[in-house]
Amino acid sequence: MVLGAAAGAGVLGAILGLGGGILLVPVLTLFFGVSLPYAMGASILSVIATSCGAAAGHLTSGLANIRLGLFLALFTVSGALTGATLVGVVPARALQVLFGLALGYSAFTTIRQLHVEVPETLAADPLAQRFALEGVYHDHVLGRDVAYHAVRVRAGAAVMFGAGVLSGLLGIGSGAFKVLAMDTFMRLPMKVSTATSNFMIGLTAAASAGVYFGRGDIHPVIATPVALGVLVGSYGGTRLIGRMRNTTVRKLFLPIVLYLAVSMLLRGLGVLH
Amino acid sequence: MRRVERLVSRILLAGGGVAVACMLVGVVALEIRATRTAHPLDIAHVVENREAGRAVDVFVSLPQLAHALQRQPPDPVAVITSGVVVLLATPGIALIAAVVGFVAARDRRYAVIGAALVVGLVCGFFLDLGG
């Protein structure tokens, strides 16, 4: 059963650019009675397994853009380092409210562009040209090559940095922010955004994975079915996304953004703990 | 597909494959040990034990793990854990490979970005960042 849940999390993670922790932690704690530290340990392993399985497939298909991923990961990691050093200095609740509102705005934008298959061609950002934040992938659904380039790179980088700060302050994942920064702000195709996010989440999770291991939070008996299921599921997910429209991926992503926006706002306002 | 993408993709796939292989071998060995010694690793015990403190059958350091692997026959839980360690290390190895790939491709800009990320992730490791 854990294997099946993990495989499901892997499939969704590969399609939506998330680590799967958002699904796995509640499943492991509520349905299998696993204590939270072990569930969190399994979650960090799931993020890395999703990233390995999905990014390997996405890089082969051309959906994941390694340059874009590394460029943006630089801002996420520096934001996370800043956030980790600001613990206790910056009011985390205020930041949660701020990001909850930002996510709400992103959800609204996502709804507005729910039927946009490929973003209209906008003038390339000089920074995007300088850092080669562009690419081409073959879209099997559209039956043609889709060329893209990033716009509003500074805004996207700022969101990445902010997501990193939040991640460092609160110890949460930021896969959804990564996807939104690329999709909403940088106007990249949704599938490119989720695939590149899959590559990035593994890098940031790897930084904290050693700590979870050292604390003894990654138990092999729980980790094995999770890793196996997620790896297989995420690799399968990369096959599925190739047959999906960008609009379908966006529709699947919308409930996650809405859930995150509401839960972050409620936490920030002290309603949820 | 460019060279760097191919290299990183292969490393991610190989890392996942090796990790899965270690875990499967460990699970089979654990099952064999359980049937021989009637000493299975009880999932309920693991689940319940965490609140009281760390489970006794979890490896928390690489020397501890290496020691258990050197035993004859190797500890099955250590074999599974070695798969976990391989999986955890895979993104870092892929990043280092990407840096090497960018250096080989004379893409200095991304070689520097990749190297800066390696430094950032090492710092993150010591600061305990979130995923």
Note the ipTM here: 0.85
- Domain hosting residue A49, numbered range: 2-268
- What stretch of H or E contains B35? helix B3-37
Best probe of the B interface among A35, A48, A60, by most B CBs < 10 A, is A48
Contact A198, A9 (CB under 8 A): no
Q: Measured on CA atoms in the order A13, B10, B120, A153, is the torsion positive or negative?
A: negative
- Nearest one of A1, A31, A58, A13 to A230, comparing CA atoms: A13
Task: Please give the residue that has the higher pLDDT: either B126 or A161.
Answer: A161
CA nearest to A33 within chain B: B47
Query: What are the E-state strand segments in chain A?
Result: 134-139, 144-149
pLDDT grade for B97, boundaries at 50, 70 and 90:
very high
Phi, psi (deg, nearest 5) at residue A149: -145, 155
Residue B8: predicted pLDDT: 94
Does residue A195 form part of some domain? yes
Contact A71, B86 (CB under 8 A): no
Residue B114: predicted pLDDT: 95
Does residue A273 form part of some domain? no
Tokens read off for B20: 């899965």
* pTM of this structure: 0.86
B120 inside 8 A of chain A by CB: yes
* Contact residues, chain A, for B66 at CB < 8 Å: none
How far does CA A142 lie from the centroid of its chain? 25
Indicate if the pLDDT at residue B41 is higher than 80.
no
CB nearest to A131's CB, from B24, B109, B128: B109
- Nearest one of B126, B78, B95, B71 to A202, comparing CA atoms: B95
Q: How far is CA B67 from CA A211, A217, B33, B59, in A?
A: 20, 20, 19, 10
Does residue A190 form part of some domain? yes
pLDDT digits (tens, 9 = 90+) for A17-31: 887 777 788 888 888
Indicate if the pLDDT at residue B57 is higher than 80.
no
- Name the stretches of chain A with pLDDT < 50: none
pLDDT grade for B42, boundaries at 50, 70 and 90:
low
Give me chain B's average pLDDT, please: 82
Does residue A146 form part of some domain? yes
Residue A81: predicted pLDDT: 83
**Number of compact structural domains in chain A:** 1
Residue B131: predicted pLDDT: 47
Residue A209: predicted pLDDT: 80
* Contact residues, chain A, for B60 at CB < 8 Å: 213-216
For the segment B102-128, the average pLDDT, to the nearest whole number, is 88
pLDDT grade for B45, boundaries at 50, 70 and 90:
low
